[in-house]
Amino acid sequence: MTTARTVVMWAFICRPQHGSEGGLGLSWADALARRGHDVHLVTMPTFRREIEEHLASQAGEGRVTVHFTKANDDAFQRGHKGRLRFKLDYRQWQKEALRSSRRAGLDAADVGHHVSWGAILMGSRLGELGPPFIFGPAGGGQLSGRELWEHLGRSYRDDLRTILVKYLARRLPALRRTATKADLLLAANPATEVLARQLGARRVVHMLPEGIDESLLAPTVKRSRRGQEQVALWVGRFLPHRGAPLAVEAFEHVRRALPRARLVMIGEGATQEETQRRAGELGLGDAVEFTGKLDWPSVLRWYDEADVFLYTGIRDTSCATGLEAAARGLPIVGLSHSGGGGCSEYPDVGATKVTAMPTASLASRFGQAVTEVLEDDDYEQRSKVILDFAAEHTWDAKAATMSRWYAELGRTRATC
């Protein structure tokens, strides 16, 4: 075949209407099916009922056939808790997914694409299937940097990860095989792009893992509410690498300059109690609202109510919530370093990046950046720039780009 129309896609966990890794597989599959591809999605049956209901609701919008592998009921929870056992679960699932793909005759597909778990340090076996192989967008090369370890906690420090990324990864055969077998390796952030090249990848392209539905794009830019009560927004799971206490510490400095400002923090998790305690210690009890976990319509309302989005990710592959905020025209303030969730790729006017050094003044400089956004006479321009950026990252736009790559790889293989 000279063009890639049939795609076998691997996604470890798929869950409709879910953020992070769980939502990536189905989002990619749906968008590519709308482009006319015959998509065969290989995934765990953990959320089978939800997946089947979702596909039934998509009737007439493209063809996605799902192939469920054997179940490992504990793997999803272990993955979200970051347990070491999860890595073994994931490697075992890859073997089963390869067997399932071969049993289903998917080795005759035009292209194979492994989209998630997108982790370059765990590699992929899909390249053994036979068709032209795309891996990613994958992260894993990003590090927090020693200067930020105090914000991670002992269990999340990058000691082992640093050793693996800097010294051991290039010596691991499984990782080198993944990189060298990939006809195209998509890196989720610049640090992972560097590691992919070191592993021997022939072609590496940067791409943010997430996309947004076009319907999420705000119809107009945000207007400044300077001089009124303004809202800073933080959204995510309260985990050490998300840096929630840093958001509170930064907001103390915002509050000094803007006494009417408020901070709203959406989500739940292990560091929520610590973050709430820190807010109390700083005298911010009445200024910080902890909403807990909210449904999507409620989160969307807060994106529209807020005036600035705080992203304090310390060791994230990418920033899904940042892209959602951008889609509503919400200016962003984030950290500028290799583990900062890809925010370094966002346009400077719409997304202010705060350098990690010097660490002693990080919270005050972060707070100053937030204050500058809220007080900026050109606030509407910030909103326009970040909204335009989001428009370039709709799922349909990303699928169109991917479809061109699929066709290119099909032509390349056909002439070999």
The dihedrals phi and psi of 162, each to the nearest 5 degrees, come to: -60, -45
pLDDT of residue 71: 74
User: Quick check: 318 and 115 in contact, CB under 8 A?
Assistant: no
d(CA 162, CA 210): 25
- Domain span(s) for CATH 3.40.50.2000 in the chain: 6-139+172-211+394-414, 215-391
d(CA 374, CA 379): 7
d(CA 143, CA 123): 18
d(CA 115, CA 112): 10
d(CA 112, CA 207): 17
What are the angstrom distances between the C-alpha of 124 and each of 55, 91, 141, 415?
A: 26, 8, 15, 26
User: Quick check: 109 and 8 in contact, CB under 8 A?
Assistant: yes
- The pTM of this model reads 0.87
User: Quick check: 339 and 316 in contact, CB under 8 A?
Assistant: yes
pLDDT of residue 121: 87
pLDDT of residue 403: 95
pLDDT of residue 274: 92
Kindly indicate whether the domain formed by 6-139+172-211+394-414 is annotated with CATH number 3.40.50.2000.
yes
Q: Report the sign of the C-alpha dihedral through residues 180, 33, 101, 110, in that order.
A: negative
Q: Which parts of the chain have pLDDT scores under 50? A: 1-2, 339
**Tokens encoding 314:** 């310390």
Find the radius of gyration of the CA atoms of the chain. 21
Fold of 215-391: Rossmann fold (3.40.50)
What are the angstrom distances between the C-alpha of 344 and each of 240, 270, 339?
A: 20, 27, 10
